[in-house]
C-alpha cells in the first residue's frame, strides 16, 4: 500500500527554443514538444493513474491532456470481446484532470519574456533592471521585480502539497489504520524549476533530513521523476505511530529525470518542429511525421 506521485515536466515550448525567461508567460508547445508529450503518454499508457493534476499554463496543460487521452485509450481497449463490457468491471474509472495555478513555474516578474544575459560585474542588479536586462539569479531569496524568489516557489510548493496532494497521503494513513490495501498513483504535470521544489516539499512530509535539491534539477522536457509515500512499519508489520497518533510516513524518490521515451524521437526537418503546435494543423504534423509519404503513394495508384 502506497501513494505514488509521478512528477512530469511539460513538453518543449516555443519559448524553450528562444532562451527567454519564461515562467508565467503562457507559451504553447512547439510541434516537437507535442510529439514529446505523445511519446510520454504512450510510454505511460499502461500505468493506471488515479488522478492527473496540471499547471494551468498551456505547455503543461497540453502535456497533461495527452497523458489523459492515453489513459482513456487504454481503458477503452480493456473490453471483453464477447460482451463489450469492461473487464474486471473492472477497469478503474478514467483519471480526472485537475488544473491549478499552484503548479505554475517560477514567476519572473519584469523579466518575463526577456532574454537571458550575462551579468556585467560593473553593474548592480538594479542597474541591469533599469536597462531592461535580467541576468541569472543565484541566491534563493533573490527575485526579479514583481517576480518570485526560489524561497517563495518552495512556499508555493508546500501549499500545493497541503492543498492538493496531502489528501491522498492522509487517506493512506487512515486506510492503513483500517487495514485496507489500496494503491493510489497521481500524475502531476508541471515545470522544470517548480518540480524540484515540489519534491523537496514532499520529502519534508517524511520528517527526515532530505537530499540536496540539485539532485532533482535539470529535467528534460517530458521527463518524469517519482516520489513514493509509504507507512513505516515495525518488525511485526504494525504502523509506527507519531506523537499525534498518526502512522509515520516514509517518503522516497524512486526515479529521477526518466526520459527514455524520447530515445527514438527525432526533430522534424525544415523547421516544422520549432513551430507552435496548432491542433488544427494535425494533418501537417502527420505529414512530417512520415504519414505524408504513405498518402502520396496511395494517391498515385492507378486503381
Tell me the pLDDT tens digit for each residue of 30-53: 999 999 999 999 999 999 999 999
Set of cell numbers at residue 71: 489513459
Q: pLDDT tens track of the chain, all 303 residues? A: 799 999 999 999 999 999 899 999 999 999 999 999 999 999 999 999 999 999 999 999 999 999 999 998 776 666 555 555 555 455 567 799 999 999 999 999 999 999 999 999 999 999 999 999 999 999 999 999 999 999 999 999 999 999 999 999 988 878 776 667 678 999 999 999 999 999 999 999 988 667 799 999 999 999 999 999 998 888 887 888 888 777 889 999 999 999 999 999 999 888 889 999 998 776 555 555 555 444 434 344 332
Residue ranges of the binding site: 9-16, 59
d(CA 301, CA 285): 24
**pLDDT for the residue 131:** 95
**pLDDT for the residue 216:** 96
d(CA 125, CA 136): 10
d(CA 288, CA 105): 31
d(CA 25, CA 18): 13
d(CA 161, CA 103): 10
**pLDDT for the residue 78:** 60
Q: What are phi and psi of 47, to 5 degrees?
A: -95, 110
Estimate the share of the chain in helix, then strand, then coil, as percent rounded to the nearest 5: 40, 20, 40
User: Per the structure, how many domains does the chain have?
Assistant: 1
Residue ranges of the binding site for substrate: 9-16, 59
What angle do the packed helices 194-203 and 150-160 form, to 10 degrees? 60
257 inside domain? yes
**pLDDT for the residue 33:** 98
In what helix (H) or strand (E) does residue 77 lie, and over which residues does it extend? helix 58-77
Cβ atoms of 221 and 37 closer than 8 Å: no
Q: What are phi and psi of 249, to 5 degrees?
A: -105, 145
* Strand-strand pairing, 224-231 and 2-9: antiparallel
Domain that holds residue 80: 2-107+148-299
86 inside domain? yes
48 inside domain? yes
From residue 162, give the alpha-carbon distance in Å to each of 34, 57, 205, 217. 31, 21, 10, 22
210 inside domain? yes
CATH of the domain at 252: 3.40.50.1240
142 inside domain? no
d(CA 99, CA 103): 8
285 inside domain? yes
pLDDT single digits (tens) 242-282: 887 778 899 999 999 999 999 999 998 888 899 999 987 76
> How crowded is residue 266: how many other Cβ atoms within 10 Å of its Cβ?
10
**pLDDT for the residue 283:** 52
230 inside domain? yes
DSSP state of 140: T
In terms of Cα–Cα distance, which of 23, 4, 7 is closest to 259? Answer: 7
120 inside domain? no
Amino acid at each position: 500500500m502506497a501513494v505514488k506521485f509521478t512528477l512530469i515536466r511539460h513538453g518543449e515550448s516555443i519559448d524553450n527554443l528562444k532562451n527567454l525567461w519564461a515562467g508565467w508567460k503562457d507559451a504553447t508547445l512547439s510541434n516537437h514538444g507535442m510529439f514529446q508529450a505523445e511519446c510520454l503518454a504512450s510510454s505511460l499508457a499502461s500505468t493506471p493513474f488515479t488522478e492527473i493534476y496540471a499547471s494551468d499554463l498551456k505547455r503543461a496543460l497540453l502535456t497533461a491532456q495527452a497523458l489523459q487521452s492515453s489513459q482513456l485509450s487504454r481503458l477503452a481497449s480493456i473490453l471483453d470481446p464477447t460482451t463489450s463490457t469492461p473487464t474486471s468491471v473492472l477497469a478503474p474509472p478514467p483519471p480526472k484532470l485537475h488544473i491549478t495555478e499552484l503548479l505554475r513555474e517560477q514567476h519572473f516578474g519584469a523579466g518575463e519574456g526577456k532574454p537571458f544575459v550575462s551579468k556585467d560585474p560593473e553593474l548592480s542588479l538594479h542597474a541591469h533592471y533599469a536597462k531592461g536586462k535580467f541576468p541569472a539569479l543565484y541566491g534563493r531569496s533573490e527575485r526579479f521585480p514583481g517576480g518570485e524568489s526560489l524561497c517563495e516557489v518552495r512556499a508555493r510548493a508546500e501549499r500545493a502539497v497541503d492543498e492538493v496532494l496531502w489528501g491522498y497521503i492522509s487517506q493512506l494513513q487512515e486506510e492503513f489504520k483500517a487495514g485496507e490495501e489500496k494503491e493510489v498513483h497521481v500524475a502531476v504535470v508541471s515545470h522544470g524549476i517548480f518540480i524540484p521544489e515540489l519534491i523537496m516539499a514532499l520529502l519534508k512530509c517524511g520528517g527526515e533530513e532530505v537530499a540536496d535539491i540539485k539532485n532533482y534539477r535539470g529535467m528534460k522536457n517530458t521527463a518524469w521523476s517519482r516520489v513514493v509515500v509509504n507507512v513505516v512499519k515495525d518488525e511485526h508489520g504494525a504502523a509506527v505511530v507519531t506523537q499525534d497518533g498518526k502512522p509515520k510516513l516514509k517518503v522516497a524518490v524512486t526515479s529521477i529525470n526518466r526520459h527514455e521515451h524520447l530515445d527514438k524521437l527525432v526533430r522534424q526537418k525544415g523547421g516544422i518542429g520549432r513551430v507552435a503546435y496548432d491542433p488544427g494543423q494535425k494533418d501537417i504534423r502527420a505529414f512530417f511525421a512520415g504519414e505524408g509519404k504513405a498518402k502520396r503513394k496511395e494517391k498515385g495508384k492507378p486503381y
